[in-house]
Structures are given as C-alpha cells and as structure tokens.
Structure 1
Amino acid sequence: MADRLRYRVWFTTRQKIVTTVLALAVLGTGVGYVVDRATTPEDRSCARGVERPAGSAECVGVNGDGYDFGVPSLTEVARAIATENATLTSDEYATVALLLPLTSTDPGMRVKVQHEVQGAYARQYRANHASNSETPRIRLVLANTGKGNAHWRPTVERLKTMTAAPDRLRAVSGVATSSTEVRQAVASLTGAGIAVVGTTITADDIANGPGAGNNRYPGLARVSPTNSDEAKALAHFGKVVAARALLVQDTRTGDHYTDTLKTAFAASLKGAPYEPQLFTSPPDPTDEGTTANTFRQITHLICDTRAETVFFAGRHTQLRQFINALGARGCAERAFTILTGDEGSYLGADLKLDRKALKTRLTVRYASLAHPDAWQPSPGRPVPRTGGSAAAYTTFVADIARASKTPVPLADGQAIIAYDAMATAVHAIRQATPDGKHYPETADVATQWPQVKGSLRVEGAGGWICLDNFGNPFDKAVPIVELAQDGSQRFVQIAWPEGRPPAASCLPPRRG
C-alpha cells in the first residue's frame, strides 16, 4: 500500500512535470550563479585608492583616510593623519605621499616603517599648525609598495595620476630602501616630473651627480648621506689602520645598499693585506638562509689574521648572524671592532641578536642616520657649533610627542630622518609657491633642490640639510652609534664625511 502511494505521489504525470520544473529551476539558479561569478569582476578593493593586485593578498595603493593597510601598529598614526587631513579645505593644500613597504612582514622593517610614518605625521602637523599660516597646507597620504616593494609599480602609477585636483600631489617622501625596486620607483616618479625626497636611501647609485648621464633622477633629493659619505665618516672617526683591517662582504649583486657600501669600504682599505671574506645572502635578505653556516667558517679565518677591525658590507639579518658567530669565535682573547653602515640601526630591536656576543671583547659600531643624543649637550661632549642645533632637535621632540599615546622610540633614528625629509618636502613646496597662489606647479617643486643651502638650508632635527646641485646632502652629520652590551644603541660621537663640521655658510664646494 505504501509503495502504491509513493508511486502515485512521485510518478504521476503531474508530479513528473512539477519535479522536472523544480529541477530545472535549481539547475538554472546554479548555472546563473556560476555565470555571474565568471562574468562579474572580483571585488579586490580594500579601501579608497587601495586594492589587492591579481595573485596577491596584500592591499597596496594610496590612502589618506585612516586606512592602516591591515597593520595594527599603524592604526593609531593612520587615524591621526586622517584627522589632520579632514581639517583641510579643497583649495588650500598640496599633498605629500609617504612611499613605503607598509605591509612588510620583516619585524625590523615593520618597526622602521612605523617610526617613519610617525615622524612624517609629526612634521605634517607642524607645517599646518606652527608655521605662521604659510601656504599651502599639507595633506599626507600613505602609499604602500608591499612586501619587498614588490608592488611598487601599481602604487607609483596611482601616484602619477594624483598631480591634478583634488589631490595636487607635489612630492613623494619615504623611499626608504636602497633596492632595485626602489630605484625603479624613483626613476618612474622623477621621470614624470614629481619631486622625490628619500629618507634612508644611502646607495651611491640612487643619486644624481656631476658629469654627462648622471642626472638619472631629475627632482630627487636625499636627506641621508651616501654610503661613500658614511664610509668616509667612519674612517675619519675610527682612524683605521688598513694593515689590521679586513672586509666581509655580500656577493649578491643588485642590492644597491650593499653594492655601494662594499665599494666605499674597499676604498677605505687600500693597502690592506687580506682579501675580502665573502658570503652570499638569499634573494630576500631578510630570510635567514644558510649564511650563518658561512659566518661560522669566516670567524675561523678571521682568527687566522692579524685584523682588529672588520668592515661589514651587508644587510641587517646577515649582520646579526655575523655578530652572533664572531661572539662564539675560538680566539676569544682577541678584541675586534665591527664597523658597518646604517643597517646596524635595526639591531637594537632584533630579538635574535645574541646579547652575550657583545660581552666577548666585541665592539659593534655603525654609521647611523640620526640619533636622539647627537644634538643634546652632555658633560665633556658639547654640541658642534655648526651642522645642526639642539634647538631644532628640541622642536622635533615636542612635535613627535603628538604622534603616539606612548613615547615613540628614537634610538634607531627613523622617526628623526622621516621628520627631516618631510620638512625638506614642505620647504620645497612652499618655496616653489608663487606669490598670490595657493600651491605650486608640480614641475616647480622638483627644481628647488639646488637652492636648499646656505641661509635657505633646512634646520633638520638630525642636522643641517644643505643640498648640492644634485640633491645630495653636503657634509651631513653622521652619528656613530655603538651597540651596548644590553643591546641598546649608545651614541658615541658625530663624525663628518669631510672630516669636520661644515662652515657656518653651509655652501657645498664645486665638485667635478
């Protein structure tokens, strides 16, 4: 009886029709969904001006509305920037973009990025609230190039569309790593007539210079000394005897920081009796790789020499590995000093650094780009009469306090140098603004750098910024910093590329 009933329910002519219609409806809905998904572009937006490139989960692009790019350490300062930007009316501002790998996963880079954004915001606030109502006011936006600057191209292309209203982009700052991607980004921006102010790029070949064909980046200025200037400052400071020194260098090419640093160090070691000790870092130098094994072997060879000073040309991950290895050397009775470039500033926050290595008669010193103690007088260490001032640094300290509810760490120098780069960008924008106008033409900002010197210099928190005709800082103060035994970054003294502070006039001499 049950079978007959089931048969009549499901297999009558009427039920067959109903069942068929329902099945087709369900099938049609599924097909429609698939077709709709296949023909409707995927929404890859993250925020206004920001989206995920094809094949990537990173959010890259440009935003000044408080978006933190998914990085919690940037949330507070991104919101502060948005609050400041919201006070500006549409016809009174020019925009400065801060171009950085905001979504880097490297712990050291994340700290660097956070401090640079805080320093830039602090100077934006001063420009808008403590400059006698000078115009234009300054709008700040964050521009993310992604981990390793891999997505620099779409972000730079977006910036190049922002020179007209309502953005009126007039300068790009940040530009903080001496890599091939950053060199390409700088070339693209300056090629489009946009002024660029590098914060911590130090590679000699991401710069302009005298001679035909050396003006590859028209409109580029830098507030950090070149690697050559860092090396000269270290040499003047250390009075290194070449006969008792050697060079440890990375063989990986294409890294402009490392390539130019080892060239500069080699020039300081003419006549040294030992050939360089070589290692090869991974393609991404923030990876650990296998270089620690190589450094264990290199320390044996160093013990075989009469060297006392070791110049290190490499990135911070490998520098940390080398310090750890040298701390465990067999010739523990011998003292060594490691001298390196500004990548040493990452070491203070590096949790993988073996602090015990610093207690084995091993001294680590590096050429910093800025340090909070450099322009603060102390007993037996007066502030130089030229090249910078305690007053400029004191102003910075008051400004940076607004950037965070908790004190911003300053020992790595990143907030200071970003503040000074922003000050330089604001200076050029306002110098280029004609009387009676609210803001300058884009091309006029990029031509300002040859006049940033003498009485028109920028009084930076990290020292005077006097640019030569090619946009490079002349005789910029180089704080020599020592990694203390507890891992803190102890200021030693200011060194100078020219061997002494600049004259009060701060006018670069004729070159080449």
Structure 2
Amino acid sequence: MADGVRSPLVRWLREVWEIRLYRYLALLVTAAVLTGLVFAVRAVTDEDRSCAPGVARPVGSDECVGVATGAYDFGHAQLQSAVRAIDRENDRLKAGGYVTVALMLPYTASTPSTLSDIQHEVQGAYLAQWQANHTSNGQAPAIRLVLANPGATSDHWETMVDQLERMAKGADRLRAVAGVGQSTDNNKKAVAELTRRGIPVVGASITADDLANGQNGKDPFPGLARVSPTNTDEARALASFAKVDADRALLVYDKPGDPYTRTLQTSFAALLKGSPYEPQPFTPPADRTQEGTTANTFRQITHLVCDTSAETDTILFAGRHTQLRQFVNALGTRGCQNRKFTVLTGDEGSYLSGDKKLDRTALTHNLSVRYTSLAHPDAWVNAPVTLPGGSAADAKVLTDLLARSAREPVGPIGDIALEDGQLIIGFDAMTLAVHGIREATPDGATVPPLADVGLQWPQVKGSLRVSGASGWICLDVHGNPYDKAVPIVELHADGGSRFVRIAWPEGKPPAKECLPPS
C-alpha cells in the first residue's frame, strides 16, 4: 500500500526532473551551437588575408596590394632576382641613416607585356639605388627601396596611399614615390592624393598632359616631377621628325579614351588641322589590356584607309598598345597592299617590340610603324660628343652597372632587356628622386624634411640638371622636362625594333645651359 501511494509521487518527481533536465540540455546545446557560430563568424571575419609584410588582400579581392617591405615578388617569378637584390641592399642599411623611396607599379598585373615593363623598371630603379648607396662618395642619406602596389588597374590606390602616408610620418621616413605606371584615371587620382598629402612623386613613364603641372598655368599636383616628355612634346618631336602633312594623314583614336590616349589624340589633332579626312574612333574595353571586339572595328577602318586618296600615306594612332597591335595586324591584311603607309604613335608602341601576338609579316606589306620611345639603348651610342641634351658617357654609367649586374655584389637581377626603354627610364626616375632627396638634406643632417624634397624640382636645370641615361633632365618650374630627347623607333619585321633618330620637341636640342625659357 505504501509503495502504491509513493509511486505516483515518485513518477511525478521523476517527470519534473526529466523535463528540467531536457530543458537544460537543450539550452546547453543551443549555447554550444551559438558559440560555434560565433567562432565560425570570427574565423571568417578574422581570416588572415596577409600576403607578406606590408601587403594584404582587401576584402572582396584576391590581389595582394599595399607596400612590400621585404623580398616579395607578388607571385611573379620573373621579379624574384631583382626583388632579392633590393632586399639584400635594404638589409645592409644602418638604422637611422636612410630614407625610403617607394616604387609604385601595378605588380599584380597579368599581361606579359605589362609584367615585362614592370620587371625592367624595377631593375632600373634598383640599379639607381645601388649607385646612390655605393658610388656617391658616402653622400647622405642612404636609399631604401620598397615596392608599392595599387593593384593591376590601380583600383586599390587609396589603400596604398594611406599606407604610404603612414610611412612618410613614421620610422620608414618615406621621402618620395617613383614610377607610377601608365597614365590612367586611377593613377591620376593616386598622384593627386599623394601630392595633396605632401608626398613628392617622380613619374617615370607617365606622359599624359593632364597628369602634369603647368597646364593652363595651374599646378594640381604640387611636388610632382617627371622624367618623360608630355604627349604634346612627344607629338611635336614626332612631327618635327616625320614632317607630317595634314593633307596626307588620317587620325585613328580611342573613344572615350583615358588620360594618355585623350591627350595624345588632342596633340595629333592639332597636327592635322585642315585634314580632308574625319578622324576615325574605336572603343576598346575599359581595361585596355584586354582584347575585346576592337579588332572588328579595325577591320572596317582598314577599308576606309584604302578609300583615301592615293597620296595619303600617314596614319596617326592615339591608342594603347593592345589596340595598336590589333590595328597593325588588321593593316597587314588590308585590301590596298600596293600602297605604302606609315603608322605614327606614342611611346605605347614600345610594348610591341616583344609582343608575341603581333603579326610581323604585316610589316613586310608596305607598312612601317614608328613611335616615340621614352628611351632606347642605341640613342646615344653614335651621338656627337658636342651634341647637347645627353651623351654616350651619361648612358655608359648605366651600361657599366648592367655589366656588373649578373653577379654579386650588384646582382643578379634577372634577364635584361633594354629595347622597351623601361629599365633606362626607371633608372633615371629613381636617380632624380635621389637627387631631390639629397639636395633637400640640410648640412649635417641625414634626413631631409618631407616638405622640402618636392621644392627641389624647379632647380633641376643648368648645372644642377640630372644627366640621365635617357638624356638630360632639365625641369621647368612645373616639374616637367624641357626639350627632352625623344628617340624615334621603328618596329622590325624580323623582331624587336630599330632606333631611327633622336627628335626634339623644340625641333632642335636644348642649349648647353639647358635653361627653359620663360
């Protein structure tokens, strides 16, 4: 009886206990699941996106962008030797005795021609660093070189600029940015922001007129210097060499264009005032390294070229190198093979010297392609000793370094190629940056004030000019080179290119004083 009385109570207590136990277990399981979710979210949001010291992948991107402060080659084996040489040189510098220069280029680019240019410009910048640190009689400060990547198309320029500003204010003592890359809208924004923040910039291969100071009397990029002529100066040099006749010439141009192509178009259009032919536009992809469908347009334009009068023999091309290659290939199959044509274009033509997609048989069909190069290894080889504007002796400074670059202590720096001019112009840009830094360094000091470096550019003239391997660098008060030597180069059907002649924006070399007129 007693057991029967207790059984319902016992069962009730047991049920209550089990219900509570299940609830506690459910709460524990829920808490565990939530905790797991929290850690999973943290694992995703706190994912290590670093690539190397100073370089990381922004959220939503697989590109490694930022400023590499170690031996990082951005995944490109062809950069390894030069990057390691830079790292060795940086490692030997004594703390407190150096300043930093960043070489800004699109290191995560993927097109072979662009990567080739990057490799050569890095090699040139390194050789200038080595020369500055080892052959300048101990001048201070020593130079540390780092690689700044805004992305393949400079989409991440803001991330890079923020990092460079921190380096300028901190222990890195960044005092200049060299290189820049192509004259694109993103690079224009990057240069504008760098100079707005007081960081001097030395452009190597930028040539767009609207990525320069002094246009319409304004200086939108305070502290910017350049070693390459503007598109206008290149066009003037090309015109003085080729004796362009507007009645016998046609303009083909990129629409809507970018800073390089737009200003080249404007410069070429000025040469063709009075031409009987309407300029012919083409519209490439936004990323002008891509093929797109532009080849179809060029096939149509070749028909119009053949429709011109028999006297027409010159085509001025305002476009990037991928589209130039497509256009040349199209001209190789044009209907009027019996007529001779010369294509004249800007320095983007240098990319074609090593472009494997170029149909070189086109150059055997009464077609020649000539372009303004930023530099060429043969430009000063046979130049008269008395010719102002540059010299074989100045160019030999670089070639002597190159002869030593295959092994330590200078090298190795990888395979060398000079025809595209990028190694030479990279060397000169870095040399100008070093010049500005050391001229701004007060006596007895080892580090110049950041604000003083960019103030040196207007004085780079006369006896204070930089005698570059590409020619004299005499800057006007806006930081632009005055009457800079412009090599005219012709593509060869057998491969590579051939130096034709030096041309000058002013129609003749500068005076030996190299002082720009007012």
The TM-score normalised by the length of structure 1 is: 0.92
User: Which whole-Å CA distance do the structure 1 matches of 2:224 and 2:266 have between them?
Assistant: 23
Map of 1:14 onto structure 2: none
User: Which whole-Å CA distance do the structure 1 matches of 2:459 and 2:421 have between them?
Assistant: 26
Map of 1:388 onto structure 2: 390
1:382 is displaced (CA, Å) by 4.0
Q: Which has the larger radius of gyration?
A: 2
Q: Any stretches of 5+ residues in structure 2 without a counterpart?
A: 1-20
1:47 is displaced (CA, Å) by 1.3
**Residue 452 in 1 paired to residue 457 in 2?**
no
User: Which whole-Å CA distance do the structure 2 matches of 1:28 and 1:348 have between them?
Assistant: 66
Map of 1:145 onto structure 2: 150
Map of 1:228 onto structure 2: 232
Map of 1:442 onto structure 2: 450
Q: How does 1:341-360 map to 2 (within 5 A)?
A: 341-360=346-365
Q: 1:421 aligns with which of 429, 447, 451?
A: 429
**Residue 491 in 1 paired to residue 504 in 2?**
no
**Residue 365 in 1 paired to residue 370 in 2?**
yes
User: Which whole-Å CA distance do the structure 2 matches of 1:372 and 1:26 have between them?
Assistant: 74
**What are the superposed Cα offsets for residues 322-354 of structure 1, whole Å, 9 maximum, x if unpaired?**
000001010000000000000001001211100
Map of 1:156 onto structure 2: 161
Structure 1 residues 24 and 174: alpha-carbon distance in aligned structure 2, compared to 1, 3 A threshold: same
Question: Secondary structure at the residue paired with 1:433?
Answer: coil
Q: How does 1:194-213 map to 2 (within 5 A)?
A: 194-209=199-214, 211=216
Structure 1 residues 158 and 499: alpha-carbon distance in aligned structure 2, compared to 1, 3 A threshold: same
Q: 1:503 aligns with which of 499, 502, 511?
A: 511
CA contact (8 A) 2:485 2:503 kept: yes
**Residue 106 in 1 paired to residue 111 in 2?**
yes
Matched residues, number: 492
Question: Secondary structure at the residue paired with 1:448?
Answer: helix
1:164 is displaced (CA, Å) by 2.8
Amino acid at match of 1:392: D
1:365 is displaced (CA, Å) by 0.2
Map of 1:267 onto structure 2: 270
Map of 1:281 onto structure 2: 284
**What are the superposed Cα offsets for residues 156-182 of structure 1, whole Å, 9 maximum, x if unpaired?**
110011113420000000112101100
Question: Secondary structure at the residue paired with 1:147?
Answer: coil
User: Which whole-Å CA distance do the structure 1 matches of 2:386 and 2:334 have between them?
Assistant: 39
Question: Secondary structure at the residue paired with 2:205?
Answer: coil
User: Which whole-Å CA distance do the structure 2 matches of 1:509 and 1:435 have between them?
Assistant: 31
Question: Secondary structure at the residue paired with 1:345?
Answer: helix
Amino acid at match of 1:393: A
Q: 2:41 aligns with which of 38, 42, 50?
A: 38
Question: Secondary structure at the residue paired with 1:274?
Answer: coil
User: Which whole-Å CA distance do the structure 2 matches of 1:210 and 1:203 have between them?
Assistant: 11
**Residue 337 in 1 paired to residue 333 in 2?**
no
Amino acid at match of 1:440: P
User: Which whole-Å CA distance do the structure 1 matches of 2:473 and 2:346 have between them?
Assistant: 20
CA contact (8 A) 1:249 1:314 kept: yes
1:21 is displaced (CA, Å) by 11
CA contact (8 A) 1:100 1:143 kept: yes
**Residue 251 in 1 paired to residue 259 in 2?**
no
Q: Which moved more, 1:66-75 or 1:36-45?
A: 36-45
Structure 1 residues 384 and 334: alpha-carbon distance in aligned structure 2, compared to 1, 3 A threshold: farther
**Residue 430 in 1 paired to residue 435 in 2?**
no
CA contact (8 A) 1:246 1:274 kept: yes
User: Which whole-Å CA distance do the structure 2 matches of 1:131 and 1:83 have between them?
Assistant: 19
CA contact (8 A) 2:78 2:414 kept: no
Amino acid at match of 1:274: Y
Question: Secondary structure at the residue paired with 1:446?
Answer: helix
**What are the superposed Cα offsets for residues 428-482 of structure 1, whole Å, 9 maximum, x if unpaired?**
0000000010110000001100000000000100000000000000000000000
User: Which whole-Å CA distance do the structure 2 matches of 1:37 and 1:144 have between them?
Assistant: 31
1:210 is displaced (CA, Å) by 6.0
Map of 1:11 onto structure 2: none
User: Which whole-Å CA distance do the structure 1 matches of 2:250 and 2:41 have between them?
Assistant: 61
1:74 is displaced (CA, Å) by 1.3
User: Which whole-Å CA distance do the structure 2 matches of 1:298 and 1:445 have between them?
Assistant: 48
Q: Which moved more, 1:449-458 or 1:71-80?
A: 71-80
**What are the superposed Cα offsets for residues 64-92 of structure 1, whole Å, 9 maximum, x if unpaired?**
21111222221111111111001111110
1:259 is displaced (CA, Å) by 0.3
Q: How does 1:168-187 map to 2 (within 5 A)?
A: 168-187=173-192
**What are the superposed Cα offsets for residues 125-153 of structure 1, whole Å, 9 maximum, x if unpaired?**
00000000000000000001111111111
User: Which whole-Å CA distance do the structure 1 matches of 2:149 and 2:510 have between them?
Assistant: 36
- What is the percent sequence identity of the aligned residues? 60
Q: How does 1:20-35 map to 2 (within 5 A)?
A: 31-35=34-38
CA contact (8 A) 1:170 1:442 kept: yes
User: Which whole-Å CA distance do the structure 2 matches of 1:230 and 1:456 have between them?
Assistant: 24
Amino acid at match of 1:293: N
User: Which whole-Å CA distance do the structure 2 matches of 1:51 and 1:262 have between them?
Assistant: 38
User: Which whole-Å CA distance do the structure 2 matches of 1:118 and 1:35 have between them?
Assistant: 48
**Residue 50 in 1 paired to residue 55 in 2?**
yes
Q: 1:316 aligns with which of 308, 311, 321?
A: 321
Question: Secondary structure at the residue paired with 1:148?
Answer: coil
CA root-mean-square deviation: 2.1
Structure 1 residues 276 and 404: alpha-carbon distance in aligned structure 2, compared to 1, 3 A threshold: farther
CA contact (8 A) 1:69 1:103 kept: yes
CA contact (8 A) 1:122 1:403 kept: no
CA contact (8 A) 2:54 2:69 kept: no
1:403 is displaced (CA, Å) by 4.8
Q: 2:245 aligns with which of 241, 244, 265?
A: 241
User: Which whole-Å CA distance do the structure 2 matches of 1:405 and 1:80 have between them?
Assistant: 6
User: Which whole-Å CA distance do the structure 2 matches of 1:117 and 1:218 have between them?
Assistant: 25
Map of 1:398 onto structure 2: 400
User: Which whole-Å CA distance do the structure 2 matches of 1:182 and 1:235 have between them?
Assistant: 28
CA contact (8 A) 1:99 1:142 kept: yes
Map of 1:133 onto structure 2: 138
The TM-score normalised by the length of structure 2 is: 0.91
CA contact (8 A) 2:79 2:414 kept: no
**Residue 298 in 1 paired to residue 301 in 2?**
yes
1:37 is displaced (CA, Å) by 2.5
User: Which whole-Å CA distance do the structure 1 matches of 2:376 and 2:29 have between them?
Assistant: 69
CA contact (8 A) 2:457 2:475 kept: yes
